[in-house]
Structures are given as C-alpha cells and as structure tokens.
Amino acid sequence: MPNIGSYDEAYAGFSWKIAEKELEYQPGSVLNIGWHCSDRICLKGHGGKTALLWEGLGGAEKRYTYDDIRIASNTIGHFLRGLGIAAGDRVCLFMDKVPELYLGVLGILKIGAIGQPLFSAFGDESLFVRLENAGTRAVITQRKHVAKVRKILDKLPALEHIIIVDHDGKAPLQRKEIAFSLEKAAPIETIEIHPTLAESPSLLHYTSGTTGQPKGVKHVHYSLISQYLTTKWVLDVRPDDVYWCTADPGWVTGTSYGILGPWSMGVTQCVMDTGFSAEAWYKFIEKHKITVWYSAPTAIRSLMKAGDEIIKKYDLSSLRLLASVGEPLNSEAVLWSERVFGKAFLDTYFQTETGSIMITNFPGLKIKPGSMGKPFPGITATVLDPKLYEPYPESGKIGLIAIQPGWPAMMRTYWNNEETYRKKFRNGWYMTGDRASLDKEGYFWFIGRDDDIINTGGHLVSPFEVESALIEHPAVAESAVVSKPDPINMEVVKAFVTLKPGFTASADLDLEIMNFIRKKLSPLAMPQEIEFSPSLPKTRSGKIMRRILKAKEWGEEIGDTSTLEDD
C-alpha cells in the first residue's frame, strides 16, 4: 500500500497539519529546516543511520551518518558565525556536488542565513548577475571555481568572504579568501540554532532563465511542510529506502528533493558526482541497491538512446519507484521504462516558484502515459481561459495552468523585484506560465510554455505534441519544436532533431520521419522543416531551451544563456 493510501480520500480530507504533526511542529514555534533535517532525526534515535552515500571522480567515496551531518552542519554554521555571518545574510554555495554543498545548506540554515545554491558550471558573468542581485555576503566554493569569483570581486562590494573548502596550501590565498576544511576543523557538537519561524527566509533560488533574465525566488522555512509530505506521498519514501535524486542543488529539485525532503524523513540518500553515462548510472543503482530514483526526462531519453541491452548487464531489481521532473515526460519514455524496468516513471510537475510538487502522478493511481497527473492534496489547480482568466466550465480545452495560492512552499517574492512577483497572480490564481488541458477524470495534459505555443494560421500547436510524435520514430533521440516566420501563416512549425547512434542525417531519413509523424499529427501541426542537430541547447537542469532556437529562427536577441549546460 502506498504511503498516500487512497488519493481521493487523501485529497478530500487533506490538511497541511498532517505534515506539521509528523514533523512535530507547532504553529508559531521555531521552525528551522537545518535542525529538522539533522538534529531532530538524531533525537529520534537514528543518529547512527547512514544519511549520505557520496561517490566522486576516481572512485572516491564518503559516507555520513545523521550524527555526522548534524556535527558537520554545526561546524559549518559555527565557522560562518565566526566570520560575522548573521541571520538574513545571503551565503552562496558555488560548488560541484561535493558533500560540503549538502552539509553547507544545513549549516547556513541553522544560523538563520539564506542559502543561495548556484550551478558550479556558471561563468563569471552569470555568477555576477546573481551575486549582485542578492547582495551576497559570502561564497563557499572550490579551488577549481574560485577564479570566476576573483574575476568579479571588484564589482561586488557586498561580498566579504570567499571560502575555499579544498585549499591545499600550495597557492597563496588572495584578497577576502579563507581556507576551510571540514575534515580538519574542530567538530562542533552543539550550536545555538537561530530561532527561525515559519516565514523566515531560507533559500534563494534563481530561475533557469528559459524566459528571460533569471529571477531570485525567495523561499521560507515553512516550505519544509510541503517538501516533507510530497516526498512521502509522491516519491513514496519509506524508512528503509535508499534514495537517489540525480538533480544538482543549483536547481530547486536538488534542494527540495535532493536535500530537504529525504533528510527530513530520515532516509539514506545517494549522491553521484561523476557526470552522466548509462553504464555508470546503472552500476551506481546496482551497487547501492537504490530503491527510489528521481531523475529528469533528458536523462531518461539519454538512457533510452543507450539502448536496452546494457540494462541486462546490471541487477536493478532493487528499484521500487521511479519518478521524473523538469520537463514533461513523453508517453514513449513512460512505456519504455515500464518495459525495461518493470515500472513506469511517474511524471511530476513543479517550478522554482512553487518549491514543491504541484501536479503529479502517484503510486497506486492509474497512469495515463504522457499526462502530468493530478494535483497534490492541498493544491487547487485548474486550467484558465487565457482571455477571461476564469476556469473553463468544461474539460478538454487548452488554457493556462493556474494554482490557488497558499501552499507552504510557495515563493514569497522575487528578490528585489516585487513588481514582477505580483504580476504572477491574476484573479486570485498563481499563473504558472504553462498551458495544459484537463480531461474528464481530472488529469492534466501539458501543452507547453505559454510563450512556446505556435499559432499557425490561427491553429494553436503544442510543441510537446509534435516532439512526442517525433521521438516515437526509432531514429530520433531528442527533439525540440519552435515556430519560424512564414509569409502566409505568420508562423509555421520547425523541428530540431538529434539522432540515435547508428543513424545518419539525410534527405531520405527526413522524408521517412515526416511520413511517420504524418499519421500522428494534424496537417497544421506538421513541421515544415526538420533540421538535424548534434545536440540541443539545454539548461543544466535538463530543460530544452526552445527560446534560443526560436530566437535564432526569428533573428532576435537570445537573452540570458547563463544556465546552458555548455555555457
């Protein structure tokens, strides 16, 4: 029986007090995520339980118990306090997926400071935009990334401390730099937890920039209520699970479900910091007997591209639940996972701004491949008429995905940008910026970003619909669909396609793919052109940046590309 039990019963009788009670939180009292994810677990008698299994390059391995992460986060918090870092100060974590990143988040939160996790692949200009906007006071980083910080230091008067966690003593420290070694520092057994309340700020996540300049999304400590319960009910995490979320904490999934959710539940989680390969991932699952696996459609499509034969080399029988997030999951990927793993990937939907899963498929609930699923209990979601901003009276129509505000993990503002934050709300709804349709059974079907929808001759075309048809062709690994200008229809459909190994771009293959998808799409949805490409522009969180492809087609400015994986 899944943790959620009956979805209908859970939805009908829902209250966030369920999570408050299980987390032993009394409204109005202190709520500190760092304490709840470490000290609290130890006080419940699980200090000796493994909290983190980490693997890095060259076969490096580290293992931490809950008592270890409690003491390590205390030690980091104590060190930051010694530098004068106080409640409300922004502390950036600019590192690879090393243990100090995960432990540092808890340490920062314990002293009431605001964690600002950023992708270590950012260039110096991308880093500058975010540090300047946040008024960041300290950066925790590594030797390999510190040069980027040095390059922009003179333009950041608020930045007082650059903390290097792996300084080897060989190269001299430069201005404002401090060496800190978690392994050499005196362990701090106890620390005074800052008395943060539900609405105290916790994390500052920057949007991926898929629709313009990145914005700083401010979350609060009360977000843990949502993250804990969605981890328990959607990902079905149980005490004896070994959990793996593949996301980098520079992305909201990597903190909400790669740090906070699993550790608030006292579960053992794994982190792999060695890059992607199908063989390495399957080996990692087999070695650690991972039971719950949360990944992204881009990774899943890459695994599909690697083929089915490689899977047979590994014992993946430990897997109990698979879930996906980041982009809509094509039905082909759902059916593939069902065939090769014996269980389907559950598609989940949320945003940086929502902080936790909003619309999702659930264990025990009927899966409709290609559907986003249903709203999480406590979440009122609908599809609005884009002209009236009112819910459609009937099902089946395409409109704007909207959510009723008030869930615990909802962003509280955009940092220094309250005006843009307010524009996200219309008629009492939070506007996600995505479009979908809603069927008679209450399942949501993703159509695309509101600004991705293609209007060709007055007919609205969903890029996702065309992309889903394309990847069903045996030669196609990935696809991205955008509009291109047309003198008659104003705009028409263009598809970018990457091929699986063993296939070569040619006019014959172009025609074959066109004939294949013609049986699946309406004439107006058919691409007028297919362009074969060695790769597609993506954020490091795995989202295909159609905006970049569209801008090139229309001769427009590309805009912010700071989260491109090859940036």
pLDDT digits (tens, 9 = 90+) for 430-476: 999 999 999 999 999 998 777 777 877 656 677 877 888 899 999 99
Tokens of 319: 């897997």
422-436 average pLDDT score: 95
Res 553: pLDDT: 87
pLDDT digits (tens, 9 = 90+) for 33-43: 999 999 999 99
What backbone torsions phi and psi does residue 146 show, to the nearest 5 degrees? -65, -25
Contact 456, 528 (CB under 8 A): no
Res 207: pLDDT: 83
CA distance 157 to 139: 13
Asked which of 464-468, 517-521, 537-541 is least confident by mean pLDDT, the reply is 537-541
Give the closest residue to 561 by CA, choosing from 98, 213, 292, 110. 213
Asked which of 44-48, 319-323, 378-382, 461-465 is least confident by mean pLDDT, the reply is 461-465
**Chain position carrying tokens 């906070």:** 260
Res 210: pLDDT: 45
In sequence order, the β-bridge partners of residue 295 are 324
Asked which of 234-238, 311-315, 334-338, 489-493 is least confident by mean pLDDT, the reply is 489-493
pLDDT digits (tens, 9 = 90+) for 56-79: 998 899 999 999 999 999 999 999
Instruction: Give 178 or 296, the one with higher predicted confidence.
Output: 178
CA distance 538 to 481: 13
Q: What angle separates helix 331-341 from helix 463-471, to the nearest 10 degrees? A: 40
pLDDT digits (tens, 9 = 90+) for 374-411: 999 999 999 999 999 999 999 999 999 999 999 999 99
532-543 average pLDDT score: 84
Res 459: pLDDT: 64
Give the burial class of 166: count Cβ atoms within 10 A of its Cβ; 0-12 exposed, 13-18 middle, 19 or more buried. middle
CA distance 218 to 424: 14
Confidence check: pLDDT of 180 > 90: yes
DSSP state of 564: B
Res 50: pLDDT: 98
Confidence check: pLDDT of 122 > 90: no
Contact 108, 76 (CB under 8 A): yes
Contact 55, 274 (CB under 8 A): yes
* Percentage with pLDDT > 70 across the chain: 96
CA distance 533 to 299: 18
What does the angle CA 268 – CA 269 – CA 275 come to, to the nearest 5 degrees?
155
Confidence check: pLDDT of 156 > 80: yes
166-183 average pLDDT score: 95
39-48 average pLDDT score: 98
Res 567: pLDDT: 41
Tokens of 100: 């100090």
Confidence check: pLDDT of 252 > 70: yes
342-360 average pLDDT score: 97
Q: Alpha helices of 197-325 — where are they, by DSSP H?
A: 223-233, 252-255, 261-264, 278-288, 297-306
Overall pTM > 0.95:
no
Confidence check: pLDDT of 317 > 50: yes
pLDDT digits (tens, 9 = 90+) for 476-514: 999 999 999 887 777 889 999 999 999 999 999 999 999
Q: Please report which confidence band the pLDDT of residue 211 belongs to, taking 50, 70 and 90 as the band edges.
A: very low
CA distance 74 to 138: 17
